[in-house]
């Protein structure tokens, strides 16, 4: 934990810096699981057996419970769990002009979930924007710092079907500009932290060409465009792949923080440093085993010896929607307990 100080990375108050490292924050990383009750109602709604009002009431209750859980666990930022979202792409797809959608569903990376593929049919810009489609801030009296996760410009462009742009770089740039307006509007509406989820920066499946320097540069430039004036309120989270090959470039991004998926990362080779937050995807959203707080704390300490950061954040590696709700909630509790352990460990 002392590496950042030793190397002169951080020039401020040394004790304060060390405390931030060992009193890590805790966030959720995207879509949370729906409860069994809500799942039952949405299925019944889908079959025409119940009305939308019933679903909506349960949605509110599920969201409130999640907010209360995070509030009770002293999370630094509150996420509404995006329980209304049908997939991680949907609200952004609906907010952009020039982007439509058809019947096609594609696999969400290497999971057993699917997303409706955005289809780019003309120049992309910001379309009709409704903040309630992104975050349910008015649902609860709890006051806190709100966090919203949206797909970053590179991943959104990569995961869309491009029927309009001859040059994919132009698509990327236009998506980034449109996303900048989305980020601005979210911040204006009181959101304190926007996560740009960029799995495509690290997910390089077999036979897909490795990143060339130019492609990486374009991708990171797009992230900078999207973050722009609100860079201090933006984190870039990567998952589903080993960030190793692009890690230092990611850590150099002028944003508040960068997230990595430790379940895909080769920890034996990784190293880097950042002046911002390092978000450790340290509980596995894809496995039901609930990580022990002791183990999380120990692993976080080990990683912080290899990755120097101004501040550590403990988080799930990706959306907790991949495990049932009770397990997702237990994992959130484990993160909070681990943060407490690390704090108590501080002499």
Partner 1 sequence: MALVEKLFPVQEIGSLSKPRWRIEGIRRPLSTVDVEDAEAWADRLTVRDFHDRIKAVLKEPDTKNRSRLVFQLSTLYGLRLFENAGLDNIGVGGEQQRVEMYEHAIKAIEGMEFLGHVQSFDYKYFKKAVALGEVKRRHPIYLQEFGDVKENSRSQVKVPITGPYTLVEWSFNEFYLRRGSASGLKQRKQEAKREFLLNIVQNVIRPEIRDLVDAGAKWIQIDEPAVTTHPEPFDLELFVEGWNETVRGFNCKFSDHTCYPSEIGYKVLAEYAPKLDKCSQLALEFANRDSARLGADKSERVGYESIRDFVDGGFGGEFGVGVVHVHDFSGEVGYGAGRVLGRNIIESPELIRDRIVYATKLVGDPAKVWVNPDCGLRTRTWETSSSKLSNIVKGAALAREEYS
Closest listed residue to residue 134, CA positions, set 174, 188, 95: 95
- Which tokens hold the place of 30? 């995207």
| Contact partners, residue 90, CB within 8 Å, separation at least 6 | 115, 116
Task: State the nearest-atom distance from the C-beta of 56 to partner 1, in Å.
Answer: 14
First to last CA, the chain: 13
Angle at 65 between CA 64 and CA 71, to 5 degrees: 85
Cα gap 130→150, rounded to integer Å:
14
Choose the binding region for partner 1 from 70-78, 200-208, 209-217, 220-228 (rule: CB under 8 A). 200-208
Among 8, 141, 205, 212, binds partner 1 (CB under 8 A): 205
Would you count residue 208 as binding partner 1 (CB under 8 A)? yes
Q: By CB under 8 A, is residue 305 in contact with partner 1?
A: no
| Distance in angstroms (rounded) separating the CA atoms of residues 5 and 304 | 12
Q: Binding to partner 1 by residue 262, rule CB under 8 A?
A: yes
From the list 11, 112, 209, 213, which residue makes contact with partner 1 (rule: CB under 8 A)? Answer: 112
Query: Beta 161-162 vs 114-126: how paired, if at all?
Result: parallel
190 binds partner 1 (CB under 8 A): no
CA separation for the pair 212, 217 (Å, rounded): 9
Region 24-63 residues binding partner 1, contact defined as CB under 8 A = 33-34, 36, 39, 42-43, 45-46
For the bound state, the minimum distance from the C-beta of residue 88 to partner 1, rounded and expressed in Å, comes to 11
Work out how close the CB of 287 gets to partner 1 at its nearest, in angstroms, rounded to a whole number: 6
Query: If we measure between CA atoms, which residue out of 90, 177, 191 comes closest to residue 126?
Result: 177
The one among 229, 289, 302, 343 contacting partner 1 by CB under 8 A:
289
Interface pick for partner 1 out of 263, 275, 333, 340 (rule CB under 8 A): 263
Report the b/e string of 239-259 with b at 16+ CB within 10 A.
Answer: bbbbbbebbebbbebebbbbb
Nearest distance in Å: CB 100, partner 1 = 10
For 196, other C-beta atoms within 10 Å of its C-beta total 28
Q: Which of residues 147-186 bind partner 1 (CB under 8 A)?
A: none
Residue 287 binding partner 1, by CB under 8 A: yes
Residues found near partner 1 in the complex (CB under 8 A)? 33-34, 36, 39, 42-43, 45-46, 86-87, 101-107, 109-116, 205-208, 262-268, 284, 287-289, 321-327
């Amino acid at each position: 934990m002392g590496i950042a100080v030793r190397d002169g990375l951080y020039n401020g108050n040394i004790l304060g810096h060390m405390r931030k490292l060992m009193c890590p924050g805790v966030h959720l990383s995207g879509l949370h699981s729906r409860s069994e009750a809500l799942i039952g109602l949405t299925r019944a709604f889908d079959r025409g057996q119940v009305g939308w009002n019933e679903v909506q009431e349960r949605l509110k209750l599920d969201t409130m419970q999640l907010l209360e859980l995070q509030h009770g666990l002293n999370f630094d930022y509150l996420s509404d769990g995006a329980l209304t979202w049908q997939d991680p792409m949907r609200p952004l797809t609906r907010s952009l002009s020039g982007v439509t959608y058809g019947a096609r569903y594609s696999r969400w990376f290497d999971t057993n979930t699917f997303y409706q593929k955005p289809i780019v049919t003309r120049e992309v810009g910001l379309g009709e924007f409704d903040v309630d489609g992104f975050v349910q801030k008015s649902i609860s009296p709890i006051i806190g710092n709100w966090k919203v996760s949206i797909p970053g410009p590179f991943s959104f462009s990569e995961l869309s079907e491009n029927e309009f742009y001859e040059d994919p770089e132009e698509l990327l740039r236009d998506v980034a500009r449109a996303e900048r307006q989305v980020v601005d509007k979210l911040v204006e509406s009181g959101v304190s932290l926007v996560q740009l989820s960029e799995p495509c920066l690290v997910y390089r499946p077999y036979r897909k060409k490795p990143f060339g320097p130019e492609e990486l540069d374009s991708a990171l430039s797009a992230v900078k465009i999207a973050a722009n004036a609100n860079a201090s309120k933006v984190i870039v989270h990567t998952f589903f792949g080993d960030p190793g090959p692009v890690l230092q470039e990611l850590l150099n991004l002028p944003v508040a923080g960068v997230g990595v998926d430790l379940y895909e990362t080769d920890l034996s080779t990784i190293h880097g440093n950042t002046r911002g937050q390092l978000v450790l995807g340290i509980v596995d959203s894809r496995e039901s085993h609930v990580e022990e707080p002791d183990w999380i704390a120990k692993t976080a300490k080990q990683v912080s010896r290899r990755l120097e950061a101004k501040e550590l954040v403990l988080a799930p590696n990706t959306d907790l929607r991949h495990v049932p709700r009770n397990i997702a909630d237990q994992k959130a509790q484990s993160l909070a307990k681990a943060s407490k352990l690390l704090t108590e460990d501080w002499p």
